């Protein structure tokens, strides 16, 4: 079979399946996105940029449905759970850190993780791919 044609009988073809559910999985999905990119070496600023980017459909859907403050809180909680406590500029909130819903414990060797500093919001920021970050809630 030629490479460009899709074969429905090929067991090695990648198939995506959407599952309708009444359960809200936004929190678990958000934590997984954050943890994945944090473990890849992204800092909080870069992860927030990914959530703002409309080309990252799943991540951007969280910002549209729950708001940017929800995402910022989950980023801070996830980073704190992994031993990288941080707060956003202008935020005095210090919410308790909860354990991971997927049961993954933070690594013992914190030298593997990069440090993250707080940052000021800048309208000229770009996401990790170099595209400008859209400002959804000016």
Q: What residues pair up with 126 in beta bridges, in sequence order? A: 132
Ordered by start, the domain boundaries in the chain are 26-87
* Half-sphere exposure of residue 138: CA atoms within 13 angstroms, side-chain side: 4
| Angle ∠(57,63,65) on CA atoms, nearest 5 | 95
For every one of its 138 residues, what pLDDT tens digit does the chain have, with 9 covering 90 and above? 456 777 778 888 777 777 788 888 889 999 999 999 999 999 999 999 999 999 998 899 999 999 999 999 999 999 999 888 887 877 655 443 333 444 444 444 444 444 333 344 454 666 666 677 666 665
Q: Would you say 34 and 75 are in contact if contact means Cβ atoms under 8 Å apart?
A: yes
Question: Would you say how long the chain is, in residues?
Answer: 138
User: CA 17 to CA 71: how far, in whole Å?
Assistant: 26
- Residue 51 has a pLDDT of 95
Can you tell me which residue has the tokens 């989950």?
Answer: 74
The string of DSSP codes covering 11-69 is TTS--------SS--HHHHHHHHHHHHHHTT--HHHHHHHHH-TTSHHHHHHHHHH-HH
User: CA 94 to CA 59: how far, in whole Å?
Assistant: 24
* CB neighbours of residue 6 within 10 Å: 8
- Residue 5 has a pLDDT of 74
């Amino acid at each position: 079979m030629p490479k460009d044609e899709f074969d429905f009988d090929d067991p090695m073809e990648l198939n995506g399946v959407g599952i309708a559910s009444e359960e809200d999985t936004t929190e678990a999905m958000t934590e997984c996105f954050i943890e994945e990119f944090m473990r890849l070496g992204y800092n909080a600023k870069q992860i927030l940029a990914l959530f703002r980017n409309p080309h990252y459909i799943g991540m951007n859907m969280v910002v549209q449905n729950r708001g940017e403050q929800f995402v910022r809180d989950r980023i801070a909680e996830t980073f704190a759970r992994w031993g990288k406590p941080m707060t956003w500029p202008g935020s005095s909130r210090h919410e308790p850190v909860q354990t991971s819903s997927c049961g993954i414990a933070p690594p013992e060797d914190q030298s593997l993780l990069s440090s993250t500093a707080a940052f000021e919001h800048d309208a000229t920021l770009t996401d990790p791919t170099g595209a400008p970050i859209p400002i959804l809630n000016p």
